[in-house]
Amino acid sequence: MEHQNRRILVLSHAGHDASRDAVIEVCRQLTAASVQPVLRDGELDDILVVAPDLSSVVLLDRDVALDTIESAVVLGGDGTILRAAELVRGSSVPLIGVNLGHVGFLAESEKNGLTDAIERVIAQEYDVEERFTLSVRVKIGDQVAFETWAINEATVEKASRSRILEVVVEVDRRPLSSFSCDGVVMATPTGSTAYAFSAGGPIVWPSVEAMVFVPISAHALFARPLVVGPDSVMAVELVDRADASGILWCDGRRSFDLPAGARVVVKRSPVSVRLASLRTSTFTDRLVSKFDLPVDGWRGPGRS
Protein backbone atom coordinates (compact mmCIF):
# COMPACT_ATOMS: atom_id res chain seq x y z
CA MET A 1 0.00 0.00 0.00
CA GLU A 2 1.28 3.46 -0.85
CA HIS A 3 1.81 5.56 2.29
CA GLN A 4 3.05 8.79 0.73
CA ASN A 5 1.46 11.95 2.14
CA ARG A 6 -0.68 10.02 4.60
CA ARG A 7 -1.26 11.77 7.94
CA ILE A 8 -2.78 10.28 11.07
CA LEU A 9 -3.67 12.40 14.08
CA VAL A 10 -2.71 10.98 17.48
CA LEU A 11 -4.78 12.25 20.43
CA SER A 12 -4.32 11.39 24.09
CA HIS A 13 -5.01 12.41 27.68
CA ALA A 14 -2.24 14.96 28.15
CA GLY A 15 -0.16 14.79 31.32
CA HIS A 16 -0.37 11.04 31.92
CA ASP A 17 2.84 9.02 31.63
CA ALA A 18 0.96 6.01 30.25
CA SER A 19 -0.64 8.19 27.58
CA ARG A 20 2.69 9.80 26.68
CA ASP A 21 4.38 6.40 26.33
CA ALA A 22 1.53 5.15 24.15
CA VAL A 23 1.76 8.26 21.95
CA ILE A 24 5.48 7.66 21.45
CA GLU A 25 4.87 4.01 20.58
CA VAL A 26 2.18 4.92 18.05
CA CYS A 27 4.21 7.73 16.47
CA ARG A 28 7.20 5.44 16.03
CA GLN A 29 5.03 2.73 14.48
CA LEU A 30 3.46 5.22 12.06
CA THR A 31 6.83 6.75 11.15
CA ALA A 32 8.28 3.29 10.45
CA ALA A 33 5.41 2.74 8.00
CA SER A 34 6.09 6.10 6.29
CA VAL A 35 2.86 7.56 7.67
CA GLN A 36 3.22 11.04 9.18
CA PRO A 37 2.04 11.37 12.80
CA VAL A 38 0.24 14.58 13.72
CA LEU A 39 -0.09 15.95 17.26
CA ARG A 40 -1.83 18.94 18.77
CA ASP A 41 0.09 22.02 19.82
CA GLY A 42 1.47 21.72 23.35
CA GLU A 43 2.00 17.96 23.24
CA LEU A 44 5.05 17.69 21.03
CA ASP A 45 7.55 19.32 23.42
CA ASP A 46 6.87 16.73 26.13
CA ILE A 47 7.23 13.94 23.60
CA LEU A 48 10.57 15.21 22.24
CA VAL A 49 12.10 15.28 25.72
CA VAL A 50 11.69 11.51 25.90
CA ALA A 51 11.81 10.67 22.18
CA PRO A 52 14.00 13.14 20.24
CA ASP A 53 13.85 10.79 17.24
CA LEU A 54 10.29 12.00 16.61
CA SER A 55 11.31 15.48 15.48
CA SER A 56 9.55 14.90 12.13
CA VAL A 57 6.13 14.87 13.82
CA VAL A 58 3.98 17.81 12.69
CA LEU A 59 1.35 19.86 14.53
CA LEU A 60 -2.33 20.16 13.75
CA ASP A 61 -3.40 23.65 12.57
CA ARG A 62 0.16 25.00 12.65
CA ASP A 63 1.63 22.64 10.04
CA VAL A 64 -1.36 20.74 8.65
CA ALA A 65 -5.12 21.28 8.53
CA LEU A 66 -7.74 18.89 9.85
CA ASP A 67 -9.09 18.25 6.36
CA THR A 68 -5.74 16.70 5.38
CA ILE A 69 -5.95 14.06 8.13
CA GLU A 70 -6.83 10.49 7.17
CA SER A 71 -7.91 9.28 10.62
CA ALA A 72 -7.38 9.97 14.32
CA VAL A 73 -6.09 7.46 16.85
CA VAL A 74 -7.36 8.30 20.33
CA LEU A 75 -5.43 6.91 23.29
CA GLY A 76 -7.41 6.97 26.53
CA GLY A 77 -10.82 6.28 27.99
CA ASP A 78 -14.26 7.41 26.88
CA GLY A 79 -13.63 10.93 28.22
CA THR A 80 -10.64 11.32 25.91
CA ILE A 81 -12.69 10.08 22.97
CA LEU A 82 -15.46 12.58 23.81
CA ARG A 83 -12.89 15.39 23.75
CA ALA A 84 -11.62 14.10 20.42
CA ALA A 85 -15.17 14.07 19.06
CA GLU A 86 -15.40 17.80 19.78
CA LEU A 87 -12.33 18.32 17.61
CA VAL A 88 -13.32 16.26 14.56
CA ARG A 89 -17.14 16.54 14.54
CA GLY A 90 -18.32 17.76 11.18
CA SER A 91 -15.17 16.59 9.39
CA SER A 92 -14.54 13.35 7.50
CA VAL A 93 -11.94 12.19 10.05
CA PRO A 94 -12.91 8.91 11.78
CA LEU A 95 -11.89 8.23 15.38
CA ILE A 96 -10.21 4.95 16.36
CA GLY A 97 -10.12 4.55 20.13
CA VAL A 98 -7.57 2.52 22.08
CA ASN A 99 -8.67 2.17 25.68
CA LEU A 100 -6.16 3.18 28.34
CA GLY A 101 -8.89 3.79 30.90
CA HIS A 102 -11.50 1.57 32.56
CA VAL A 103 -14.73 0.52 30.81
CA GLY A 104 -14.04 2.34 27.54
CA PHE A 105 -17.14 1.48 25.52
CA LEU A 106 -16.19 3.87 22.71
CA ALA A 107 -12.74 2.33 22.23
CA GLU A 108 -12.11 -0.32 19.62
CA SER A 109 -9.05 -1.86 21.21
CA GLU A 110 -7.36 -2.30 24.58
CA LYS A 111 -3.83 -1.24 25.50
CA ASN A 112 -2.46 -4.76 25.06
CA GLY A 113 -3.70 -4.72 21.47
CA LEU A 114 -2.19 -1.33 20.59
CA THR A 115 0.39 -2.57 18.08
CA ASP A 116 -2.13 -4.70 16.20
CA ALA A 117 -4.66 -1.85 16.20
CA ILE A 118 -2.16 0.57 14.63
CA GLU A 119 -1.22 -2.04 12.03
CA ARG A 120 -4.89 -2.22 11.07
CA VAL A 121 -5.13 1.58 10.96
CA ILE A 122 -2.08 1.75 8.69
CA ALA A 123 -3.54 -0.95 6.43
CA GLN A 124 -6.93 0.85 6.54
CA GLU A 125 -8.57 -2.34 7.78
CA TYR A 126 -11.54 -0.72 9.45
CA ASP A 127 -15.13 0.22 8.78
CA VAL A 128 -16.45 3.70 9.50
CA GLU A 129 -19.75 4.14 11.33
CA GLU A 130 -21.67 7.40 11.31
CA ARG A 131 -22.82 7.89 14.91
CA PHE A 132 -25.60 10.41 15.14
CA THR A 133 -25.43 13.19 17.68
CA LEU A 134 -27.98 15.31 19.52
CA SER A 135 -28.83 18.93 18.87
CA VAL A 136 -29.57 20.62 22.19
CA ARG A 137 -31.28 23.99 22.61
CA VAL A 138 -32.31 25.89 25.73
CA LYS A 139 -35.16 28.35 25.45
CA ILE A 140 -36.06 30.90 28.11
CA GLY A 141 -39.33 32.48 27.17
CA ASP A 142 -39.22 33.07 23.41
CA GLN A 143 -35.44 33.44 23.31
CA VAL A 144 -32.83 30.78 22.53
CA ALA A 145 -30.39 31.14 25.42
CA PHE A 146 -27.97 28.32 24.64
CA GLU A 147 -27.24 25.80 21.88
CA THR A 148 -24.85 22.86 21.86
CA TRP A 149 -24.65 19.17 20.93
CA ALA A 150 -23.90 15.74 22.42
CA ILE A 151 -22.73 12.37 21.17
CA ASN A 152 -23.64 10.53 24.40
CA GLU A 153 -26.36 12.40 26.23
CA ALA A 154 -27.98 15.63 27.33
CA THR A 155 -28.92 15.60 30.99
CA VAL A 156 -31.18 17.98 32.88
CA GLU A 157 -30.31 17.76 36.58
CA LYS A 158 -31.26 19.50 39.80
CA ALA A 159 -28.93 22.34 40.69
CA SER A 160 -28.98 21.70 44.44
CA ARG A 161 -28.82 18.44 46.38
CA SER A 162 -31.46 19.69 48.77
CA ARG A 163 -33.96 20.59 46.04
CA ILE A 164 -35.99 18.19 43.95
CA LEU A 165 -36.53 19.03 40.29
CA GLU A 166 -40.07 19.35 38.95
CA VAL A 167 -40.39 18.87 35.21
CA VAL A 168 -42.89 18.44 32.44
CA VAL A 169 -41.66 16.16 29.66
CA GLU A 170 -42.76 16.24 26.05
CA VAL A 171 -42.32 13.99 23.01
CA ASP A 172 -43.10 15.15 19.49
CA ARG A 173 -44.51 18.46 20.75
CA ARG A 174 -47.11 16.79 22.95
CA PRO A 175 -47.00 16.65 26.78
CA LEU A 176 -46.29 13.18 28.15
CA SER A 177 -46.04 13.49 31.93
CA SER A 178 -45.00 15.74 34.80
CA PHE A 179 -43.13 14.56 37.88
CA SER A 180 -40.50 15.34 40.49
CA CYS A 181 -37.07 13.83 39.96
CA ASP A 182 -33.32 14.24 40.32
CA GLY A 183 -33.04 14.70 36.57
CA VAL A 184 -33.69 13.37 33.08
CA VAL A 185 -31.22 11.79 30.63
CA MET A 186 -31.78 12.01 26.86
CA ALA A 187 -29.27 9.79 25.07
CA THR A 188 -28.17 8.44 21.71
CA PRO A 189 -27.52 4.72 21.14
CA THR A 190 -23.84 5.54 21.61
CA GLY A 191 -24.66 7.02 25.01
CA SER A 192 -27.03 4.26 26.06
CA THR A 193 -24.14 2.44 27.79
CA ALA A 194 -23.08 5.57 29.68
CA TYR A 195 -25.11 7.74 32.08
CA ALA A 196 -28.45 6.51 30.69
CA PHE A 197 -27.49 2.92 31.53
CA SER A 198 -26.44 3.90 35.06
CA ALA A 199 -29.85 5.55 35.51
CA GLY A 200 -31.65 2.33 34.54
CA GLY A 201 -32.08 2.84 30.80
CA PRO A 202 -31.84 0.14 28.12
CA ILE A 203 -28.75 -0.66 26.09
CA VAL A 204 -29.36 0.19 22.45
CA TRP A 205 -27.23 -1.39 19.74
CA PRO A 206 -25.22 1.26 17.82
CA SER A 207 -26.87 0.23 14.54
CA VAL A 208 -30.33 1.16 15.88
CA GLU A 209 -31.46 4.67 15.04
CA ALA A 210 -33.30 5.80 18.13
CA MET A 211 -33.06 8.04 21.19
CA VAL A 212 -33.47 7.09 24.83
CA PHE A 213 -35.30 9.06 27.51
CA VAL A 214 -34.52 8.04 31.13
CA PRO A 215 -35.86 9.75 34.28
CA ILE A 216 -33.48 9.80 37.27
CA SER A 217 -35.02 8.90 40.65
CA ALA A 218 -38.48 10.04 39.58
CA HIS A 219 -41.37 10.29 42.02
CA ALA A 220 -44.12 9.14 39.68
CA LEU A 221 -46.16 6.07 38.80
CA PHE A 222 -45.23 6.45 35.14
CA ALA A 223 -41.54 7.22 34.91
CA ARG A 224 -40.20 4.40 32.79
CA PRO A 225 -37.35 4.73 30.29
CA LEU A 226 -38.59 5.41 26.78
CA VAL A 227 -37.12 4.65 23.36
CA VAL A 228 -38.26 7.09 20.68
CA GLY A 229 -37.65 7.35 16.96
CA PRO A 230 -34.66 9.16 15.45
CA ASP A 231 -36.88 11.93 14.09
CA SER A 232 -38.69 12.56 17.38
CA VAL A 233 -38.23 15.75 19.37
CA MET A 234 -37.90 15.50 23.15
CA ALA A 235 -38.32 18.42 25.54
CA VAL A 236 -38.01 18.98 29.27
CA GLU A 237 -39.53 22.05 30.93
CA LEU A 238 -38.64 23.16 34.44
CA VAL A 239 -41.73 24.08 36.44
CA ASP A 240 -41.85 27.86 36.74
CA ARG A 241 -41.56 28.60 40.43
CA ALA A 242 -39.19 30.72 42.50
CA ASP A 243 -36.93 27.93 43.79
CA ALA A 244 -36.92 25.81 40.62
CA SER A 245 -33.55 25.74 38.93
CA GLY A 246 -31.42 23.11 37.28
CA ILE A 247 -28.38 22.54 35.14
CA LEU A 248 -27.92 21.09 31.68
CA TRP A 249 -24.92 18.85 31.02
CA CYS A 250 -23.97 17.55 27.56
CA ASP A 251 -21.54 14.62 27.55
CA GLY A 252 -20.51 15.75 31.03
CA ARG A 253 -18.41 18.46 29.36
CA ARG A 254 -20.62 21.39 28.35
CA SER A 255 -23.06 22.89 30.84
CA PHE A 256 -25.62 25.65 31.16
CA ASP A 257 -27.51 26.85 34.25
CA LEU A 258 -31.26 26.47 33.84
CA PRO A 259 -33.52 29.03 35.54
CA ALA A 260 -37.12 28.33 36.50
CA GLY A 261 -39.29 27.99 33.41
CA ALA A 262 -36.42 27.00 31.10
CA ARG A 263 -37.20 24.61 28.26
CA VAL A 264 -34.61 22.13 26.92
CA VAL A 265 -35.29 20.77 23.43
CA VAL A 266 -33.36 17.75 22.16
CA LYS A 267 -33.46 16.22 18.70
CA ARG A 268 -31.20 14.49 16.23
CA SER A 269 -28.44 16.70 14.86
CA PRO A 270 -27.63 16.68 11.14
CA VAL A 271 -23.92 16.62 12.05
CA SER A 272 -22.55 13.18 12.96
CA VAL A 273 -19.32 11.85 14.47
CA ARG A 274 -17.44 9.16 12.58
CA LEU A 275 -16.19 6.19 14.64
CA ALA A 276 -14.06 3.47 13.11
CA SER A 277 -14.60 -0.22 13.80
CA LEU A 278 -11.56 -2.50 13.54
CA ARG A 279 -13.81 -5.53 12.98
CA THR A 280 -12.23 -7.36 15.91
CA SER A 281 -15.45 -8.12 17.82
CA THR A 282 -19.21 -7.63 17.79
CA PHE A 283 -21.10 -5.27 20.09
CA THR A 284 -22.38 -8.36 21.93
CA ASP A 285 -18.80 -9.46 22.59
CA ARG A 286 -18.01 -5.99 23.87
CA LEU A 287 -20.91 -6.07 26.33
CA VAL A 288 -19.81 -9.45 27.64
CA SER A 289 -16.22 -8.25 28.03
CA LYS A 290 -16.91 -4.81 29.56
CA PHE A 291 -19.53 -6.02 32.04
CA ASP A 292 -17.92 -9.42 32.64
CA LEU A 293 -21.22 -11.11 31.82
CA PRO A 294 -21.57 -14.86 32.48
CA VAL A 295 -22.01 -16.93 29.31
CA ASP A 296 -21.34 -20.38 30.80
CA GLY A 297 -23.45 -23.04 29.13
CA TRP A 298 -23.70 -21.29 25.77
CA ARG A 299 -23.68 -23.89 23.00
CA GLY A 300 -24.10 -21.69 19.94
CA PRO A 301 -22.07 -21.76 16.71
CA GLY A 302 -18.40 -20.79 16.91
CA ARG A 303 -18.01 -21.67 20.57
CA SER A 304 -14.49 -22.56 21.65
Give the pLDDT confidence score for residue 73 in this predicted structure.
Answer: 97
pLDDT score at 55: 86
Note the pTM of the prediction, 2 decimals.
Answer: 0.90
- Identify whether the C-beta of residue 109 lies closer than 8 Å to the C-beta of residue 98: yes
pLDDT at 4: 57
Q: Do domains 7-131+273-290 and 134-268 have the same CATH topology?
A: no
Check if the beta carbon of residue 116 is closer than 8 Å to that of residue 125. no
Residues 6 or more apart in contact with residue 21 via CB below 8 angstroms: none
In total, the chain counts a number of residues equal to 304
What CATH number labels 7-131+273-290?
3.40.50.10330
Give, as one character, the DSSP assignment of residue 163. Answer: S
The three-point CA angle 197-155-277 to 5° equals: 55
Return the HEC string of 51-117: CHHHCCCEEECCCECHHHCCEEEEECCHHHHHHHHHHHCCCCCCEEEEECCCCCCCCCEEHHHHHHH
If one counts every other C-beta atom within 10 angstroms of the C-beta of residue 243, the result is 10
Helix (H, G, I), strand (E, B) or coil at 25: helix
Composition of the chain by helix, strand, coil, percent to 5:
20, 35, 40
Asked if 105 and 198 touch (Cβ cutoff 8 Å), the reply is no
Q: Which amino acid is at 92?
A: S
- Exposed, middle or buried by CB within 10 Å (0-12, 13-18, 19+), for 282? exposed
Q: Which of 78, 116, 251, 285 is catalytic?
A: 78
Predicted confidence (pLDDT) per residue in 163-211, tens digit: 889 999 999 999 999 999 999 999 999 999 999 999 999 999 999 999 9
DSSP sequence for 194-254: THHHHTTPPP--TTS--EEEEEES-BSSS---EEE-TT-EEEEEE--STT--EEEEETTTE
* 78 catalytic residue (yes or no): yes
Domain ranges of the chain: 7-131+273-290, 134-268
Paired strand residues for 135: 149, 267
In this structure, are residues 223 and 215 in contact, taking their beta carbons and an 8 Å threshold?
Answer: yes
pLDDT tens digits for range 91-107: 999 999 998 867 678 88
User: Which residues neighbour 15 within 8 Å (Cβ) at sequence distance 6 or greater?
Assistant: none
Per-residue pLDDT band for 1 (boundaries 50, 70, 90) equals very low
pLDDT digits over 52-101, tens only? Answer: 899 889 999 999 999 999 999 999 988 999 999 999 999 999 999 998 86
Question: What pLDDT does residue 100 have?
Answer: 85
Residues 134-268, CATH architecture: Sandwich (2.60)
